[in-house]
Amino acid sequence: MARISTIIVSHATEQKLLHRHQISLDELEDAVVGVVGLRSTWGDHPTRGRRLLVEASIRKRKVLVVLYPTDVSDEWNLGSAYFI
C-alpha cells in the first residue's frame, strides 16, 4: 500500500465531498492520512490517468477514496470519496 501523508483538496472537491457525499475533510483525513493497512489498488482512468483507489471507513461505513499522485512522495490529490 502506498503511504498517505498529505492530501491536497481543491475547494470545489471539498464542497462536493461535503454537500453531495456528506463527508467532511476532517473525517476523510482521519480515515486515510497515516493509517496503515488500508486496502488499495492502482487503477488507470482513460482521461485522468493513474490513480490509487483506497478503501477506508468513516462512521463505520466503507468509503472509496480516489487519490492521484503528485510529484512529492506520500502526497496525493483527492479526486473523490464516497460511501460504498
Output the pLDDT for position 1: 66
Report domain extents, the chain.
Answer: 6-83
State the SS3 of 49-67: EEEEEEEEEECCEEEEEEE
Residue 13 has pLDDT above 90, yes or no: yes
**Does the global pTM surpass 0.75?**
yes
pLDDT confidence tier of residue 4, bands split at 50, 70 and 90: very high
Could you give phi then psi for residue 69, rounded to 5 degrees? Answer: -70, 150
Q: Average pLDDT in the 38-64 region?
A: 96
* Mean pLDDT across the chain: 96
Output the pLDDT for position 9: 97
| CA–CA dist 79, 13 (Å, integer) | 7
| CA–CA dist 65, 54 (Å, integer) | 5
pLDDT confidence tier of residue 77, bands split at 50, 70 and 90: very high
Residue 33, all three cell numbers: 492520512
